[in-house]
């Protein structure tokens, strides 16, 4: 802080010391537990530079295929290596196991639940979060009320589970008990445009882009042929 005058900076110092002022640099606390989202641009925008356990994140999108699942896929791959479940509640279609495997997710930990009603879906989410047997809980909601979301947020906090929800509705602008609210739409086939509407410990962010894959999706698809190796019988060296 530049010294703008002895008496004023002294008052400011006192106010800072009593903790009455919130400073933006405080939210970059490094001692908090988090796992990287796998995307540097997303990590930069997340409090604690990564997804945190016990912090419910709502992801809003329009229709399947907007990149809404890819943002959590690297984190899921990491979490599925633990000896706990990755619970999928009421997904809109069946998650495709070969694609999950290619992304590094251990499908032996994946448990998919198809509840018959919204109440049953909420019950499954809460049971999964409270049990402590799930490292991650993913839920697709077709109705949205604040009270159940608050209960899920508290349940996630109590068991330190990672939780992501995809409400299939328009975002309710009056606020949400969830810790994070993210909206996603596809920008180009290989990047998405995202915006945080709520971040606990920080203010809402501007739009930012996240490249989802390092490989260009428009590259021509060609089966890879193994490199031919010729072994020189005399020198026994591989000549590629």
> Which spans of this chain sit near another protein (rule: CB under 8 A)?
33, 53-54, 62-70, 73, 78, 81-85, 87, 91-103, 107-108, 110-116, 120, 123-124, 127-128, 131-134, 158-160, 185-186, 189, 217-224
Tokens of 138: 């993913």
Sequence-distant (6+) residues with CB within 8 A of 228 are: 240
Smaller CB distance to another protein: residue 27 or 186?
Answer: 186
Q: Is 106 exposed, middle or buried (0-12, 13-18, 19+ CB in 10 A)?
A: middle
- How crowded is the C-beta side of 31, counted as CA atoms within 13 Å? 1
Minimum gap (Å) between residue 189 Cβ and another protein: 5
Smaller CB distance to another protein: residue 11 or 101?
Answer: 101
Minimum gap (Å) between residue 127 Cβ and another protein: 6
Minimum gap (Å) between residue 211 Cβ and another protein: 14
Minimum gap (Å) between residue 45 Cβ and another protein: 20
Minimum gap (Å) between residue 201 Cβ and another protein: 17
For residue 126, CA distances in Å to 1, 48, 121, 174, 194 come to 46, 25, 9, 23, 27
Minimum gap (Å) between residue 74 Cβ and another protein: 13
For residue 78, CA distances in Å to 42, 138, 218 come to 16, 15, 28
Give 121-162 as a DSSP string.
HHHHHHHHHHHS-EEEEEEEESS--HHHHHHHHHHHHHHT-E
What CA–CA distance (Å, rounded) separates 95 from 88?
A: 9
Smaller CB distance to another protein: residue 135 or 176?
Answer: 135
What CA–CA distance (Å, rounded) separates 85 from 79?
A: 9
Smaller CB distance to another protein: residue 14 or 188?
Answer: 188
Smaller CB distance to another protein: residue 63 or 175?
Answer: 63
> Contact at 8 Å (CB) between 170 and 145?
no
- Does the CA dihedral 18-24-25-27 come out positive or negative? positive
Minimum gap (Å) between residue 197 Cβ and another protein: 19
Smaller CB distance to another protein: residue 22 or 194?
Answer: 194
Smaller CB distance to another protein: residue 41 or 70?
Answer: 70
């Amino acid at each position: 802080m530049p010294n703008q005058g002895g008496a004023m900076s002294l008052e400011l110092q006192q106010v800072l010391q009593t903790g009455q002022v919130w400073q933006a640099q405080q939210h970059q606390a490094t001692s908090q537990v988090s796992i990287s989202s796998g995307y540097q641009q997303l990590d930069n925008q997340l409090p604690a530079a990564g997804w945190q356990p016990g912090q419910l994140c709502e992801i809003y999108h329009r229709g399947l295929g907007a990149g809404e699942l890819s943002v959590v896929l690297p984190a899921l791959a990491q979490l599925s290596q633990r000896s706990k479940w990755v619970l999928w509640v009421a997904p809109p279609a069946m998650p495709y196991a070969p694609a999950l495997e290619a992304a590094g997710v251990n499908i032996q930990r994946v448990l998919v639940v198809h509840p018959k009603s919204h109440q049953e879906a909420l019950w499954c989410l809460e049971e999964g979060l409270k049990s402590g047997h799930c490292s991650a809980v993913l839920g697709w909601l077709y109705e949205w009320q604040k009270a159940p979301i608050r209960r899920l947020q508290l349940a996630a906090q109590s068991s330190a589970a990672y939780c992501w929800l995809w409400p299939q509705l328009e975002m309710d602008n009056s606020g949400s008990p969830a810790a994070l609210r993210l909206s996603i739409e596809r920008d180009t086939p290989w990047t998405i445009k995202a915006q945080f509407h709520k971040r606990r410990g920080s203010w809402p962010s501007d739009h930012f882009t996240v490249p989802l894959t390092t490989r260009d999706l428009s590259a021509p698809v060609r089966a890879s042929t193994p490199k031919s190796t010729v072994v020189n019988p005399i020198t026994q060296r591989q000549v590629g």
